[in-house]
Structure 1
Amino acid sequence: MSTTQFHRYWTQLKRMWELAGPAMVIEVSQFSIALVTSAFVGHIGPLELAAVSIVLNVLEEFALGFMLGIGSATETLSGQAVGAEKLHLLGIYMQRSWLLSMATALLLAPFYALAAPIFHKLLRQDAKISELAGRFSMWMLPQLFFFAMNFPLQKFLQAQSRVWVLAAISSSVLLIHVVLSWGFVSRLGFGVVGAAVAGDVSWFLLVVAQAGYVAFGSFESWNGFSVQAFSSFPGFARLSLASAVLSCLEIWYPTVVIVMVGWLKNPEIAVGAASICLNIQYWSWIIAAGFNTAVSIRVSNELGAGNHEAAKLSVVVTIVTATVLGLTFSAVVVAAKNQVPKLFSSDPQVIHEAANLAYFSAAAIFLDIIIPVLHGVAVGAGWQVQVAVVNVVCYYVVGLPLTAVLGFGFELGVKGIWSGMVAGYVLQMAFLLFVIYRTNWEKEASKSEERMKNWGEISGE
């Protein structure tokens, strides 16, 4: 490697970490709101842990799939608008995303209200778990509308690299949530209701702090509410829905897996152990989400500015870095397989079952760090539709049927289910790496320029 090539590589690595570092703090902090809830509730008993876990890992992930997907469209367009120096478009995109997200929240609200019969009658979960899960979901319904406000705000700020402020807000709210959860659950003994209320308050504070920063900060990209948010709305909605499909297919994959685990014998133990593994896996995912955000911003900015070589180099640097972290994180999980489950449960059977899944969980964690980075490349370039097709094939045509065969046909239980899930991840990673390897980045930069022209006309330019 020549001195010039090393300098270019180092520059991209530095820029990537400048975005990925605070983005990791944001993702870890926001995800940990649910993680803290699970940890406090898990020490009440296995029934409470199973009930709260199935809401957080199934119902909430079902909703987040839509919300994150709609925000993903804003991320693509906003990032490329920044690269093209059309900052005035960002506020319009955020307002359109708010409208779509709030409409989506209204459509999803009945699922929260009817969670108990949905889990028991439709998804065939244990009656006691379903009843308690329904009570918990009713109390956490307000969070659905806070999600709808949060993600457009977050993408608006991230596209402009205002990541450290977001990190400070998110980490502060997490500390508040720990105190609220301790007070409501451990100190006052309000159980799952107290856990839900603590989450409601925390997400409310997160949204208010971000909105206040946008309203009172100095932003050339925000000029208040505008009727332009309603112009050519169907076009924006189509891209947002395509992004939502991509996000949903990705997030719902482990969600379906946790539902299948609930069909095994001793569901309280099986779901509790599987939810612990998923919580650990989500930790790796949110670390990868920092790189997802960083590479999406870098690729979209560089393509928007017409710098196709810089975009390509950003992709290479991020994939290499994520691979190293993936190997490291997986090794740590295996080494601490007997200690980590104790953070989430005091039940010996749950802890033992979770420890037995450590090697399967480590494999999923490695892949779950690489794949979000590849998705970040897709979002930055605007490939949501193509990647959604790949997701369908890898996860739902291959992964889930294999999961059912290994888990139930061969009676391998949770280990068989996890093996099928990992197989879907492997196939997904292979497809995406092949697509990226064959990409003509100069052509992608031209597509970005054309997209900005079209969206500029849509927004009244």
Structure 2
Amino acid sequence: MQRFLQAQNIVNPLAYMAVGVFLVHLLFTWVVVFVLDYGLIGAALTLSFSWWLLVIANGLYIVLSPSCKETWTGLSINAFTGIWPYFKLTAASAVMLCLEIWYSQGLVLISGLLLNPTISLDSITVCMSYQTWELSFMLGLSTTASAIVLIFKVGLSKLFTSDVEVIESVTNLAPLLAISVFLNGIQPILSGVAIGSGWQAIVAYVNIVTYYFIGLPIGCVLCFKTSLGVAGIGWGMIVGISLQILTLIVLTIRTKWDVEVEKAIDRLKRSINEGTLDLVASA
């Protein structure tokens, strides 16, 4: 629904709805977590409710707003035209993204199996939080973000915790975090190329091999069989992401882009011709 509105340059209403839902989310979270004392479960339920509220608001705007009266004319069976190729593409995209997300979350879970799980889990969670923040900035700032992590490695830890042991552990992990932040500035660019080229299925296989067959075992070995501890998990993550980036670079270099452009032009022409035939048939 957001893409549908953005394609029509309807951006301000999306921003207003997002801000409104955000304010409601803050109020509900405070009430549920602190007043009603539901804790983390209440926070999770409130987050789910806020997402659904945003979906409903976008849907009502599309159906009721005069701005969409010419572009949204109701449900039609034509919406299912070409649904199977689209479904295959989106299914491969979902697998590709899930494998990336589950890899990071799996390493967090593994850190809970160490001898001192509280410190390990807290420290790697702080690092993961900064990686999430880093993705919110422009990809071109990734190198700067890495330098900031290294310079303020102690101060950044204090934003999340006052525990001396956790702060020391995060400080030791800061160089690995800086490397991860830098790699995460490169990886989305190559993934974007892969998505735009329709390589979702290929990237899904690449993610399985580099993350789960190589990166994850290396992380586990370094974590449990050496003195690195939670740092071993970080090294395993870096190895997996590095191999994925290297593989995507090779695929990008070896691709014959002139041929891909010709294929894209042919697909566009077929789409235009099919659309013209549909308009003639409906007239």
Question: Is TM-score (shorter-chain normalized) higher than 0.5?
Answer: yes
| Residues 196-235 of structure 1: pairs in structure 2 closer than 5 A | 196-215=44-63, 216=65, 218-219=67-68, 221-231=71-81, 233-235=83-85
Distance, in Å, in 2 between the alignment partners of 1:277 and 1:217 is 46
Contact 1:228 1:460 in 2 (8 A): no
The aligned amino acid for 1:434 is V
Q: Deviations over 1:291-315 (max 9, x none)?
A: xxxxxxxxxxxxxxxxxxxxxxxxx
1:340 to 138, 156, 172: 156
The aligned amino acid for 1:238 is K
Distance, in Å, in 2 between the alignment partners of 1:177 and 1:345 is 24
3-state SS of paired residue (2:114): coil
1:189 to 37, 55, 61: 37
Structure 1: which 5+ runs fail to align? 1-152, 289-321
Q: How many residues align?
A: 275
1:170 to 7, 11, 18: 18
Q: Deviations over 1:254-279 (max 9, x none)?
A: 01211211211222332222112111
Distance, in Å, in 2 between the alignment partners of 1:260 and 1:271 is 9
3-state SS of paired residue (1:222): coil
| Residues 45-444 of structure 1: pairs in structure 2 closer than 5 A | 153-158=1-6, 162=10, 165-215=13-63, 216=65, 218-219=67-68, 221-231=71-81, 233-287=83-137, 322=139, 324-444=140-260
Contact 1:272 1:350 in 2 (8 A): yes
Q: Deviations over 1:174-216 (max 9, x none)?
A: 3433333333324553322332233133212221222233222
TM-score normalised per structure 1: 0.53
What is the Cα deviation at residue 412 of structure 1?
A: 1.5
**Rg (Cα) greater in structure:** 2
3-state SS of paired residue (2:118): helix
Kindly tell me: are residues 438 and 160 of structure 1, through their superposed partners in 2, closer, same or farther at Cα, counting changes over 3 Å? farther
Contact 1:407 1:417 in 2 (8 A): yes
CA RMSD of aligned residues (A): 2.8
Distance, in Å, in 1 between the alignment partners of 2:8 and 2:193 is 18
Contact 1:258 1:275 in 2 (8 A): yes
The aligned amino acid for 1:272 is D
Contact 1:231 1:458 in 2 (8 A): no
3-state SS of paired residue (2:153): coil
Distance, in Å, in 1 between the alignment partners of 2:5 and 2:47 is 23
Kindly tell me: are residues 237 and 353 of structure 1, through their superposed partners in 2, closer, same or farther at Cα, counting changes over 3 Å? same
Identity in percent: 41
Distance, in Å, in 2 between the alignment partners of 1:182 and 1:328 is 35
Distance, in Å, in 1 between the alignment partners of 2:180 and 2:121 is 17
> Residue 281 of structure 2 aligns with which residue?
none
Kindly tell me: are residues 241 and 440 of structure 1, through their superposed partners in 2, closer, same or farther at Cα, counting changes over 3 Å? same
The aligned amino acid for 1:176 is V
Distance, in Å, in 1 between the alignment partners of 2:9 and 2:221 is 45
Distance, in Å, in 1 between the alignment partners of 2:14 and 2:270 is 30
Distance, in Å, in 1 between the alignment partners of 2:175 and 2:142 is 14
Contact 1:177 1:199 in 2 (8 A): yes
Structure 2: which 5+ runs fail to align? 279-283
Which stretches of structure 1, 4 residues or more, deviate above 6 A after TM superposition?
A: none
Q: Deviations over 1:325-366 (max 9, x none)?
A: 110111122223223333333444333322322111111111
3-state SS of paired residue (1:357): helix
3-state SS of paired residue (2:72): coil
Q: Deviations over 1:203-246 (max 9, x none)?
A: 12221222233222534553322223345543332222111121
Q: Deviations over 1:362-396 (max 9, x none)?
A: 11111112211221222222221222232223222
Distance, in Å, in 2 between the alignment partners of 1:460 and 1:263 is 61
What is the Cα deviation at residue 419 of structure 1?
A: 0.7
3-state SS of paired residue (2:113): coil
| Larger RCO (alpha carbons 8 Å, 6+ apart) | 1
Contact 1:228 1:459 in 2 (8 A): no
Distance, in Å, in 1 between the alignment partners of 2:195 and 2:8 is 16
Distance, in Å, in 1 between the alignment partners of 2:120 and 2:128 is 12
> Residue 8 of structure 1 aligns with which residue?
none
What is the Cα deviation at residue 458 of structure 1?
A: 10
Distance, in Å, in 1 between the alignment partners of 2:264 and 2:118 is 50
Distance, in Å, in 2 between the alignment partners of 1:246 and 1:459 is 34
Contact 1:173 1:205 in 2 (8 A): yes
| Residues 29-44 of structure 1: pairs in structure 2 closer than 5 A | none
Kindly tell me: are residues 180 and 333 of structure 1, through their superposed partners in 2, closer, same or farther at Cα, counting changes over 3 Å? farther
Distance, in Å, in 1 between the alignment partners of 2:34 and 2:277 is 54
